[in-house]
């Protein structure tokens, strides 16, 4: 082939045709791939910069799956909290029904002090003085009330500082001590102490040691326990029908408590339960430095400070029902507080999830700006190069005409 000699014009046209073919191949490749930078040879700076942007976008996109699962974990916990709140509200409603039922006892516990002697009985507004001021035998008498829990309360009759000299003052002292008793003055001058409606189930004793739901009454003026017909001295007389209703409410309440525990245990997603002691850690960037740690809680019945009741012990009177209502109200406050915290965390996670999606779009757009080809421009280039190629072929043909003329002479 080295013996073949081409004229300068032919070589020039041939070179132009080769360059046009190369450019046309490049343009067609860009149209086919959609990129103007396909390899590092095309543009090293743009290629590796775009590759770095694409890699970061890919890493963040991989984190989106974990973030999405985290959102569902929070949604599952939120669903559980909503159900727990409804169950707690139902438990509170049952406890409130106790307050609406009839008193559980036909006769409450009662005790009576000794009747005064000597100068005679006092009055409701003057227990220790009568007539011209002669001392009543009640003057200086003390009543010591010992509850099952807490300190004993001493009430002294008299006109001195810290003493009481009227039934109203006596009752104020009883109420302040939270003893659940009311005092009244009998016609013979003795003082009768009776359990209030709210504390109708409590028992009165004449010893300083009080068992649960008992009040021990001692002091210088010995009290005598009242024995109701068919009952026990110092003890209330239960109403069978009312107590049956209350026992039924105890059973209903216990069913709700059991559902609170199972609902808490079931509020999980993908093995993570924020309402049963699990924690959640979410990572928001590819370096692992941007994280959110969400501490879980244990909101079964025990965690909420609730527990099953015992028929014959609980819901016997308004006081026991109010104690349960106080616990249920505290549990409700816990749930509301956790719901607020959970809502705040869910908002954060959703904001970061949207941020990650938008950031991926920014990174991918930046990469595309460095590597993608302009299809309109490349299409125009393709048409121009095709035309140039046709012209080059024609030019090559013209440059060969001189050689064809020599061939004609040889013929």
Give mean pLDDT, residues 70-93: 94
Higher pLDDT, 301 or 5: 301
Token readout for 283 is: 């990572």
Question: What is the 8-class DSSP label of residue 197?
Answer: S
pLDDT of res. 45: 83
State residue 81 phi and psi, 5-degree precision: -60, -40
pLDDT of res. 85: 95
Give mean pLDDT, residues 346-362: 91
Confidence of residue 228 (pLDDT cuts 50, 70, 90): confident
Where does 39-155 have alpha helices with state H? 44-100
pLDDT of res. 188: 80
Give mean pLDDT, residues 174-182: 91
Identify the sign of the CA torsion 200, 203, 205, 210: negative
pLDDT of res. 24: 62
Q: pLDDT per residue over 52-67, tens digit each?
A: 888 888 888 888 888 9
Torsion of CA 199, 203, 207, 212, to 10 degrees: -70
Give mean pLDDT, residues 66-74: 91
Give mean pLDDT, residues 188-195: 87
Mean pLDDT taken over the chain = 82
Q: What is the pTM of this model?
A: 0.72
Q: Where are the domains of the chain?
A: 8-34+373-410, 64-101+243-364, 105-238
Name residue 281's beta-bridge partners. 293
pLDDT of res. 227: 79
pLDDT over 80 at 387, yes or no: no
pLDDT of res. 194: 92
Helices 375-399, 8-33: crossing angle, 10 deg rounding: 160
Give mean pLDDT, residues 2-24: 62
Q: pLDDT per residue over 294-335, tens digit each?
A: 999 999 999 999 999 998 888 888 888 999 999 999 999 999
Give mean pLDDT, residues 367-392: 66
CATH of region 64-101+243-364, choose from 3.40.630.30, 3.40.50.10740, 1.20.1330.10, 3.20.20.70: 1.20.1330.10
Among 73-77, 139-143, 256-260, the range scoring the smallest mean pLDDT is: 139-143
Q: Are 217 and 174 in contact (CB under 8 A)?
A: no
Confidence of residue 154 (pLDDT cuts 50, 70, 90): very high
**What is the DSSP pairing of strand 291-294 with strand 280-283?**
antiparallel
Residue with tokens 């396909």: 38
**What percentage of the chain reaches a pLDDT higher than 70?**
78
Confidence of residue 104 (pLDDT cuts 50, 70, 90): confident
Task: Give Cα 370 to chain centroid, integer Å.
Answer: 47
Question: What is the 8-class DSSP label of residue 159?
Answer: S
pLDDT of res. 302: 93
State residue 279 phi and psi, 5-degree precision: -110, 160
């Amino acid at each position: 082939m080295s013996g073949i000699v081409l004229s300068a014009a032919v070589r020039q046209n041939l070179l132009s045709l080769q360059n046009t073919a190369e450019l046309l191949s490049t343009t067609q490749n860009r149209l086919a791939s959609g990129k103007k930078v396909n390899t590092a040879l095309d543009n090293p700076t743009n290629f590796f910069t775009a590759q770095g942007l694409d890699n970061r976008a890919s890493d963040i996109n991989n984190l989106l799956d974990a973030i999405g699962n985290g959102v569902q974990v929070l949604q599952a916990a939120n669903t559980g909290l909503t159900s727990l709140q409804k169950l707690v509200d139902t438990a509170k409603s049952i406890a409130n029904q106790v307050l609406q039922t009839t008193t559980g006892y036909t006769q409450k516990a009662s005790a009576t002090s000794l009747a005064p002697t000597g100068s005679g009985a006092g009055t409701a507004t003057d227990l220790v003085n009568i007539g011209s001021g002669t001392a009543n035998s009640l003057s200086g008498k003390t009543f010591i009330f010992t509850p099952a829990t807490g300190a004993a309360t001493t009430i002294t009759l008299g006109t001195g500082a810290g003493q009481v000299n009227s039934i109203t003052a006596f009752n104020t002292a009883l109420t302040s001590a939270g003893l659940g008793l009311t005092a009244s003055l009998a016609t013979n001058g003795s003082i009768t102490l009776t359990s209030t409606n709210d504390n109708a189930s409590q028992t009165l004793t004449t010893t300083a040691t009080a068992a649960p739901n008992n009040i021990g009454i001692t002091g210088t003026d010995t009290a005598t326990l009242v024995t109701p017909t068919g009952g026990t001295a110092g003890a209330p007389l239960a109403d069978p029908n009312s107590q049956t209703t209350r026992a039924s409410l105890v059973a209903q309440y216990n069913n709700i408590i059991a559902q609170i525990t199972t609902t808490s245990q079931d509020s999980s997603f993908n093995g993570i339960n924020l309402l049963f002691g699990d924690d959640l850690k979410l990572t928001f960037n590819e370096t692992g430095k941007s994280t959110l740690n969400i501490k879980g809680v244990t909101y079964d019945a025990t965690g909420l400070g609730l527990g099953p009741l015992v028929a014959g012990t609980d819901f016997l009177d308004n006081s026991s029902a109010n104690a349960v209502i106080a616990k249920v109200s505290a549990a409700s406050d816990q749930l509301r507080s956790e719901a607020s915290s959970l809502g705040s965390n869910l908002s954060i996670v959703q904001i970061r999830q949207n941020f990650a999606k938008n950031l991926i779009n920014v990174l991918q757009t930046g990469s595309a700006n460095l590597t993608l080809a302009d299809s309109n421009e490349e299409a125009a280039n393709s048409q121009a190069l095709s035309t140039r190629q046709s012209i080059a072929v024609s030019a090559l043909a013209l440059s060969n005409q001189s050689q064809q003329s020599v061939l004609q002479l040889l013929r």
